[in-house]
Amino acid sequence: MESTWLIQILTFLLLTVNLNFINALPEILRIGGLFEVGDDPMEMAFKSAVDRINSDGKLIPRSRLLAQVEKVEKSDSFSASKKACGLFEQGIAAIFGPQSVETSTHIQSTCDQLHIPHMETRLDFRSVAANHSINLHPHPKVFGEAIRDLIRMKNWKNFAILYQENEALVRLEEILKDEVLREKKMVVRQFETDEYRTIFKEVNKLNIKNLIVDVPRENIHEVLRHAQQVDMLSEYHDYIFTSLDLQTVDLEDFQYAGTNISSFCLIDRSSTDFKEIIREWQSSVPVTRTNWLEEDPFISRASLLQNFTTEVALMYDSVKLLAKALHDLDRSKTINMNALSCENEEPWQYGITLTNYMRMITVRGLTGDIKFDRNGLRTDVRLKLIELTNEGLKEVGEWTSEKRVQFIGNYSKTMEEILKATLKNKTLVVTTFPGRPYTMFVEDYEKKGLTGNDRFEGYCIDLMNEIAKRLQFKYVIRLVEDRAYGRRNEKGEWNGMIRELIDGKADIAVADLTITYERESAVDFTMPFMNLGIGILFRKPKKEPPRLFSFMSPLAIEVWIYLLTAFLGVTLFLFVIARFSPYEWINPHPCIKTPEDLENNFTMKNTLWFTIGCLMQQGCDVMPRALSTRVLAASWWFFILILVSSYTANLAAFLTVERMVNPIESVEDLAKQTKIHYGCLMSGSTQAFFKNSNFSTYARMWSFMESTRPSVFVESNDKGVERVKKGDYAYLMESTSIEYIVERECDLYQVGGLLDSKGYGIATPPDSPYRGIISDTILALQEKGILQAIKEKWWSQKKCGPKDGTQKAAGAASELGLANVGGVFVVLAIGSVCAVIICIFEFIWKMKQIPRGERDHIFVELMRELKHVICCYGSTRPVRRTGMDDMGSQIIMQTPGNGIPGMPIPGYGFPHPIHAHGDFIPAFGMGKEDYS
Ligand code: ASP
């Protein structure tokens, strides 16, 4: 193969270099044509092509082509090769035809022996062309790829391949082996007889509406007729014909059904050659009006279009290619048309050059650019995508191996207009599910005499009216028969509205139908018209009976405990500090200038009375005098001030709020318990959500719901709401419906947030042509605020006032914890520490005023005092007198120790005399010397 390719390149270079030197082509160039009996269009095309080349005069100016035609019997290879030999003996440059596989192969081998180019226009499955074959028909793989790309682009959910001839499977190999398409539901059936209805009925039962049909072009009309008879030709059906000659079939009977019928076409109808040829043909056939060739409305469709097949166009192109090659050779080589004999098998010496040259050049023909690859197969093929519309077949796009399927600029606009036109004046069957406030019966509609669509009202009815008004179609509402939204069972069968759409019983489903991935695989959804999520509908909790000790509620229990501890602590502290502080020891009889005893007011009883009096905000007649005790008292007052104010404020909140017993506050709470049952709508997306969830909480909830008896699933939202109202049942419902219900049922409310987020959409049968335009309309309604207005209309009745008010208030009046009031405890603690420090300073200060000789070391005095306090030696003590002060008066000191005259000092057994002259009296029964 590589060497052939090299020879071709060398030939091309040689010829290009020698251009314009030699003009040696004979005046008459014979070319042979072998046509089967009955293949008149091919023969006509051949002759007409030769005439065109000769009359044009530009392609081969100095020579004329002479068509030598022979008729052969189909499949009679022997007579065909005899006739071919006869042509070879006349000296021909190439041979065209025949079309049938058997005879053509036979002729091919003779051509290969004699090196005569064999010009072919038939579909050939070989992946490498024979040596002297120039086949202009693209390889079947090319068409397979084009159809595969088109199906991929259409994104069909399922499809059937219906074929008649066995070779069709080779043609469709690219589709059958494509990985993406194999994942779709694909059904392959063969039409074994001309009774196509049987297969169509079978496909209809399988609910498949997308079909690839591979039948000879002569049978296309009959196939479509049979499809129409068994209801397989509606606007929901989509047909792709593999034949390249769909344009030659009269499709007028089917063009108003709205069925999408398309195919690829190789002929470039926009080329001038094509238009001219059609005009030439026009003069030789009876004239009637056509709707496809807009350029010339007076061309006979019956005779012309039915015969102007791809093979005919290829015949034109092959003659043109040969002529161009001969002309180029004419400028570079001497070519003689030798008479050749099939017997002595001596080849034509220019054959190889001519064949190779034809494979090297590019010629623009009726079927686009004619180019060959290194295997001798047609390359860079451009296929036109044609589609049947109300106005007949229209070119809507193009396929090339690089760019795949590309629609022409205004395709979608045109299609949209065509669809809108089809939809106008149509009556669509709308399936819906009755439920508040989407679709409801008008109150007393029977009494009011309402019938048909007028019986219904609600959000979905208004939405439908808006869409129908914009798209100008009529509709009839039907309630879904099995009263289900749509759920797939284990066998993969759907119920509810989804089933009705698949079965073709309804054209659209307009309800609170949730868009889910599973449903999307069976039907099509428009843009969502409402967004929502799953929520929990529950009955408001009962009021809690007032508790006996509810006055304790404003503070948390630990705060009460801390408060008690603080109270006792402060009391003790104050008592101790007051003992220590010399300024708290006072003269009990102010009239007596030199008292014998000093008294401390902060006895244990008094101190307790003081702290409790302050705590109750009643005050007390015992007041601190020393700085230390005052600091402590001030801290205590501050503590009480804050705590009591906080308590009072919170108590007020508690008294105004109704406390609720709220057992469920989130979905987790619901999942954790089994006392309160919970469930959802049967055969709906909510049920499917729990069933398919991998999230542990929801999976647990699903197994609970599934196993609970009696069943927790309900047939409609209304029944679910009734059950919630009875109590001990939570209903998992979609948030928009909850919103509607809680506005009207004041004892119900939504617990927690949403479990997911999704939307409602209008569903159409799979691959419905109307989905796009309905989606656009929904978008327009959304942008104009009409959807919002409709929602307001049906939801707005705000009977129950603000939601969750009680819940929030109850939450706001929560008890105060340590975190809330901890600060005041800290302040109190700081105050106490300051009091201790000040008290020590006071003690030291007073001690310092006693001459060193009359007292012990301060630390010893301190310890003695501590002991005195700990042992609770009473609140009166003798005055301790020291030397005279500057003013000549005696300094009266408190004496450490008990000091009650006549009373034995605990632990020591004898009283201490008090010396007014200021002698140091060892208070604890020890001699002075013991301290020095
Ligand atoms: N709107 C839901 C559906 O489409 C109903 C539900 O399951 O709550 O299935």
Determine contact, residues 427/474, Cβ cutoff 8 Å: yes
| DSSP states along 573-598 | HHHHHHHH-GGGEE-S-TT-SS-SEE
874 φψ region: left (φ > 0), alpha (ψ -120 to 50), beta (else): left
CA distance 314 to 365: 8
Of 148-162, 325-339, 405-419, 654-668, which range is least confident? 654-668
Residue 75: left if φ>0, alpha if ψ -120 to 50, beta else—which one?
A: left
CB distance 891 to 884 below 8 Å = yes
State whether the beta carbon of 485 lies less than 6 angstroms from ligand 1: yes
Q: Do the Cβ atoms of 129 and 150 come closer than 8 Å?
A: no
- Average pLDDT on 800-809 reads 51
Q: What is the mean pLDDT of residues 439-462?
A: 94
- Cα(766)–Cα(210) distance, integer angstroms: 10
Paired tokens of 654? 């508690």
* Cα-based distances in Å from 328 to 68, 349, 422, 615: 22, 17, 54, 121
User: What pLDDT is stored for residue 5 in this prediction?
Assistant: 55
Most confidently modeled range among 313-317, 651-655, 827-831: 313-317
Whole-angstrom distance, CA of residue 229 vs CA of residue 254: 12
In this predicted structure, the answer to whether residue 894 has a pLDDT above a threshold of 90 is no
Q: Is pLDDT of 62 > 90? A: no
Residue list for the binding site: 514, 519, 685-686, 734
Rounded Cα–Cα distance for residues 681 and 544 (Å): 32
Task: Count Cβ atoms within 10 A of the Cβ of residue 130 and give its class: 0-12 exposed, 13-18 middle, 19 or more buried.
Answer: middle
Contact 160, 135 (CB under 8 A): no
Is the pTM above the cut of 0.75? no
Query: What percentage of the chain reaches a pLDDT higher than 90?
Result: 52
Whether 737 is in the pocket of ligand 1, judged by its Cβ within 6 Å, is no
Does 516 contact ligand 1 (Cβ within 6 A)?
Answer: no
Residue 916 in this model has a pLDDT that exceeds 70: no
pLDDT at residue 7 in the model: 55
What is the residue with the minimal CA distance to atom 5 of ligand 1? 684
* Helices (runs of H) and strands (runs of E) counted in the chain: 30, 30
Burial label for 887, CB within 10 Å (0-12, 13-18, 19+), is: exposed
**Nearest-angstrom CA–CA distance, 588 and 214:** 126
Closest CA to 239 of 382, 387, 383, 384: 387
Strand order in the sheet with 508-509: 474-479, 427-432, 508-509, 758-764, 524-532
- Tell me the C-alpha to C-alpha distance, in Å, between residue 920 and each of 359, 479, 896: 140, 112, 11
| Alpha-carbon 263 to chain mean position | 33
Contact assessment for residue 274 and residue 366, using Cβ atoms and an 8 Å cutoff: yes
State which ligand 1 atom lies nearest to the alpha carbon of 486. 9
Task: For residue range 848-883, list pLDDT tens digits in order.
Answer: 888 877 778 888 888 888 887 777 777 777 776 654
- Helices 272-284 and 40-56 meet at what angle, rounded to 10? 120
What pLDDT does 1 receive? 47
Q: Give per-residue pLDDT as tens, 188-213.
A: 999 998 899 999 999 999 989 999 99
Q: Which residues pair with 535 in a beta bridge?
A: 733
- Is residue 555 within 8 A of residue 650, CB to CB? The reply is yes
pLDDT: is 534 or 916 the higher one? 534
> 532 CA to middle of ligand 1, Å?
11
Q: What is the pLDDT of residues 127-184, one digit of tens each?
A: 899 989 999 999 999 999 999 999 999 989 899 999 999 989 988 999 999 999 998 9
- Whether residue 856 contacts residue 931, with contact meaning beta carbons closer than 8 Å, is answered with yes
| pLDDT at position 854 | 77
Domains in the chain, please, with CATH? 22-137+313-363 (3.40.50.2300), 140-308+381-411 (3.40.50.2300), 558-654+819-931 (no CATH)
**Contact of 764 with 771, CB cutoff 8 Å:** yes
Predicted confidence at residue 292, as pLDDT, reads 38
Q: Cβ(510)–Cβ(432) under 8 Å?
A: yes
Owner of token pair 């080589």: 333
Binding residues for L-glutamate: 514, 519, 685-686, 734
Instruction: Enumerate the H helices of 192-349 as residue ranges.
Output: 197-205, 217-229, 272-284, 310-330
- pLDDT number for residue 907: 32
pLDDT band at 6 (very low <50, low <70, confident <90, very high): low
Report CA(711)–ligand 1 centroid distance (Å): 18
Q: What angle do CA 319, 323, 327 make, to 5 degrees?
A: 175
Residues 360-372: what's their mean pLDDT? 94
Ligand 1 centre from 629 Cα, in Å?
A: 73
Is residue 747 within 8 Å of residue 724, measured between CB atoms? no
- What the block records as the tokens of 32 is 């042979």
In whole numbers, what is the pLDDT of the chain averaged over residues? 84
Amino acid at 862: L
Torsion over CA: 251, 255, 256, 261 (sign):
positive
The total of other beta-carbon atoms located within 10 Å of residue 915's CB is 13
Q: Treating both helix axes as pointing N-terminal to C-terminal, what angle do 604-615 and 557-580 enclose, rounded to 10 degrees?
A: 140
Is 508's pLDDT higher than 80? yes
Cβ–ligand 1 contact at 519 (below 6 Å): no
Quote the pLDDT of residue 291. Answer: 39
Burial class (CB in 10 A: 0-12, 13-18, 19+), 777: buried
Residue 613 CA to ligand 1 centre (angstroms): 66
- The count of other CB atoms within 10 Å of the CB of residue 68 is 16
Q: Which atom from ligand 1 is nearest to the alpha carbon of 514? A: 4
Confidence check: pLDDT of 420 > 90: no
Contacts (Cβ under 8 Å, ≥6 apart) of 439:
432, 433, 456, 458, 460, 461, 477, 479, 510, 511
Give, using CA atoms, the residue closest to atom 8 of ligand 1.
Answer: 686
Sign of torsion, CA 739 744 750 755?
Answer: negative
State the Cα torsion 593-597-600-601 to the nearest 10°.
-70
User: CA 84, CA 574: separation in Å to the nearest integer?
Assistant: 135
pLDDT of amino acid 139: 94
pLDDT at residue number 659: 59
C-beta separation of 859 from 868 below 8 A = no
Residue 749, pLDDT above cutoff 50 = yes
Does the beta carbon of 734 sit less than 6 angstroms from any atom of ligand 1? yes
Q: By the 8 A CB rule, do 372 and 335 touch? A: no
Please tell me what DSSP assigns to residue 552: G
Residue 552: predicted pLDDT? 84
Q: Quick one: pLDDT band at residue 41, thresholds 50, 70, 90?
A: confident
What is the Cα–Cα distance from 148 to 146, expressed in whole angstroms? 5
More confident: 334 or 465: 465
3-state secondary structure of 185: strand
Distance, CA 487 to ligand 1 centroid (Å)?
A: 10
With left for phi above 0 and alpha for psi between -120 and 50, is residue 870 left, alpha or beta? alpha
Residue 270's identity, in one-letter code, is S
CA distances in angstroms from 84 to 33, 75, 156, listed in the order given: 9, 14, 49
pLDDT at residue number 634:
93
Number of residues in the chain: 932
Angle between helices 217-229 and 197-205 (to 10 degrees): 50
Q: Does the C-beta of 365 come closer than 6 Å to ligand 1?
A: no
Q: 300 vs 676, which has greater pLDDT?
A: 676
For residues 324 and 60, give the distance between their C-alpha atoms in angstroms, rounded to a whole number: 7
Tell me the β-bridge partners of 645.
Answer: none
**Predicted local distance difference test score (pLDDT) of residue 303:** 55
Beta bridge partners of 532: 758
Buried b (16+ CB within 10 A) or exposed e, 156-170: bbbbbbbbbeeebee
Other Cβ atoms less than 10 A from the Cβ of 741: the count is 23
Residue 773 CA, ligand 1 centroid: distance in Å:
25
Residue whose CA lies nearest to ligand 1 atom number 9: 684
Q: Is the CB of 496 under 6 A from ligand 1?
A: no
For the chain, give the percent of residues with pLDDT over 70: 86
Read off the amino acid at residue 786.
I
Q: Beta strands 28-36 and 382-389: pairing type? A: unpaired
Distance 485 CA to ligand 1 centre (A): 6
Amino acid at 178: D
Does residue 119 sit in helix, strand or coil? Answer: strand
Dihedral over Cα of 110, 111, 113, 114: its sign:
positive
268 lines ligand 1 (CB under 6 A): no
User: For residue 74, is pLDDT > 70?
Assistant: yes
Q: How confident is the model at residue 421 (pLDDT cuts 50, 70, 90)?
A: confident
Burial class (CB in 10 A: 0-12, 13-18, 19+), 330: buried
